[in-house]
């Protein structure tokens, strides 16, 4: 096999047709892998199993976790705000508090969650230290680009 170098580039005289096909195929594969890796940041967070959903303004808020439960003590879960088509919506500042009213000699409890944003606008990672197992009112509010809203719904902490 003889190799020739010209101003245009390097080419192979014998078997050049087969070699060109391999180079072209490899180049296309590399390009496709590059494009796929750049596109893999398609904002999608696995929020786990839905625990509860409720309307909030013209949106829907969903509380979910990998286990499908809220657990007392330190727990992590997700809060997602979606429009009517099911697409996550950036609501700006959001807040979640777990409230249990006073019962007999037990004082009322308010356990706020700490929310952080994820790569997907409208999906928040949350951490809360829910004091005791039982039924809690989950109070959710937001204010930002999607306007403002608030709602509450019951969840049972395990």
Query: What are the structural domain ranges in the chain?
Result: 3-39, 49-157
* pLDDT for residue 108: 85
Looking at the predicted structure, is the pLDDT value of residue 15 above 80? no
Q: Other CB atoms closer than 10 Å to residue 61's CB: what's the count?
A: 27
Of residues 72 and 40, more confidence is placed in 72
User: What average pLDDT does range 28-37 have in this prediction?
Assistant: 61
Position 42 confidence tier, pLDDT thresholds 50, 70, 90: very low
Position 103 confidence tier, pLDDT thresholds 50, 70, 90: confident
Is this prediction's pTM over 0.95? Answer: no
> What homologous superfamily does CATH list for 49-157?
Domain of unknown function DUF4426 (2.60.40.3340)
CB 103 within 8 A of CB 110: no
Give CA–CA dist 140/103, Å, rounded: 22
CB 85 within 8 A of CB 131: no
Provide the β-strand partners of residue 108.
none
* pLDDT for residue 41: 46
Q: Phi/psi at 33 (nearest 5 deg)?
A: -65, -40
């Amino acid at each position: 096999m003889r190799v020739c170098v010209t101003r245009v580039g390097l080419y192979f005289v014998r078997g050049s047709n087969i070699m060109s096909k391999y180079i072209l195929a490899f180049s296309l594969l590399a390009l496709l892998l590059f494009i796929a890796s750049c596109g893999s940041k398609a904002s999608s967070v696995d929020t786990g199993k839905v625990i509860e959903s409720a309307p909030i303004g013209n949106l829907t808020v969903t509380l979910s976790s990998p286990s499908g439960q809220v657990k007392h003590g330190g727990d992590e879960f997700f809060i997602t705000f979606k429009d009517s088509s099911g697409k996550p919506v950036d609501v700006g500042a959001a807040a979640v508090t777990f409230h249990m009213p006073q019962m007999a000699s037990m004082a009322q409890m308010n356990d706020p969650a700490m929310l952080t944003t994820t790569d997907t606008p409208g999906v928040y990672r949350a951490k809360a230290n829910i004091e005791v197992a039982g039924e809690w009112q989950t109070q959710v509010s937001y204010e930002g680009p999607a306007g403002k809203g608030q709602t509450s719904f019951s969840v049972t902490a395990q």
